Structure 1
Amino acid sequence: MKQNSSVTEFLLLGLTQDPLKQKMVFIIFLLFYTGTVVGNTLIIVTIKFSRTLGSPMYFFLFYLSFADSCFSTSTAPRLIVDAISKKSIISYNECITQVFALHLFGCMEIFVLILMAVDRYVAICKPLRYPVIMSHKACVILIVLAWIGSFIHSTAQIVLALRLPFCGPNLIDHYCCDLQPLLKLACMDTYMINLLLVSNSGAICSSSFVILIISYFVILHSLRNHSAEGRKKALSTCTSHIIVVILFFGPCIFIYARPPTTFPMDKMVAVFYTIGTPFLNPLIYTLRNAEVKNAMKKLWHVKLLTE
């Protein structure tokens, strides 16, 4: 990567510098990350091999779980290792790569959540046309477009990052590399770059959140015409989606859709959406979804019988 600075590496300060707290960080986030990978892998495998989870909703849930795993992997392993390391050093190229991965899979998660809302809207508001509108071919095209959009977004972040000159110091007051902490170290006026950042990441987060909330309001409003049983099932599914949307977008908007101001809670807010939400998503989607739980039981029951 072309480097526009004299700095070749950065020192991540992490969540804390206290030795005892660092050990706690190591244990807590190792458990969180393990739970994230195991939970999302379980959902991915269940959807992949289950014959009962072939609907578009589970097709999108497959990619949400994949994005969750990769999104958490872009930050959690380094946070865990750095918690027990004497010096948390990250090279310039590794730092830029982390920015790319963080935004690629984070943006992918946003787009998949939107696609899941579209799927629920069509299923509830246009049930007769659902098989035609949400055909397998249409779902594949939508996922491909989501990947392309995510790649374009993350590439834009890299372009902005590569424009930043670093002359020292090289201490990043964060547990991962992202544009906001990097902007503080740049030896140039970063007002315009921060404006571009807010208009890019901030606009994506804010506009997507508004679109999702409006879409779910329309969906919930249309449920008044459904039967009690159908209304109960739809409410259960939509409630899970709404919980995930609020948990993910709240912290994202707080971090990205604001002027270049630093708050003491920034790192903990970032932890919540980069590590906390990917951990909670499998719990939300399995505990509140009878179809997923039944499919898991059948799949692993068959697997145990065949061994």
Structure 2
Amino acid sequence: LENAKSRIGKQYHEGLEIILGKDLPTDVFVNLDNITFVVRAGYAALRPDLKRFTDEMLCTWLVSGLWPYTCSNPEDDEIWRQCSIDMMHVGIEKDPETRTMLRRVAQIRMYYWYEEQVKRVREMQPADALIFSDDILEKATYTLLERFYSAWKITDHVSREELRKTFEAEKEVGKKWCELVYYLGEGILVICGKIMDTQMKSFSSDDVHTLATFIINCYPQVPQVCRCFDSVVKTFIQKGVLSHDELRQWHDELNWDVLKGGLQEIKQPPQQPVSWFPVEKLSTMMDLTNFIRSALHHDVSMS
């Protein structure tokens, strides 16, 4: 505990004491190397300026679009093309606030495209092929990359490896976001602070579970706030926009009491739970992308 405290600001010490204290659920694996990242992320579960952010930036994105405009193309349903556009947009966006939100949505979409490509590659394999063969995963990655980079065939090996590592890193962060969505709800992608993004890069799946357990027990109103913004995330995943009437209806129907309660809760130091509520750890076989698939294939109502 003292070692961890020496690596983190005093404002986070209460959280450390809670996570490293007694009575933590037995299925929670605390990685001491990453515990400071988890605590920082927990404190950033709800951005303190959520009211202003909702009224200004979020409403602007919902009407004008989060994503840069892209001309439609009859082949835009191709996995590699969609993934290519996502990677391109993350790279060119300049506004820091937009870039943060865009990157989160792009990362989960990139993870989705990757998983869909893995399925396609696997379907073409012999029935007796290993279902988790590294060859299948590698082929899925390189199929996406060679379609995205027009000069891929003449790109040297070192450059290819750098491109692959960049894609893998973005995709893996997307997976961690999807895991957090599983525990807390889709709205976490909208309501959390920027500190969450920097910590997420270091997380394992166990770290995400520890984080979710900490948030649900120490900031129990956060999942309720998440639900208020689930439909926003669906719209962003779809690269959709709202009419002014639709935006007004959504804004008017927001549960501001829930938002205020969550903001008041997050302002206070976390409190030791009287009794820990266990958070069931997700199965490694679970499809984390169902919420993305649902958004992409169905119209979303903001009500």
- Do the two structures share a fold, i.e. TM-score over 0.5? no
In terms of fraction of residues, the more helix-rich structure is 1
TM-score between the two structures when normalised by the length of structure 1: 0.25
TM-score between the two structures when normalised by the length of structure 2: 0.25
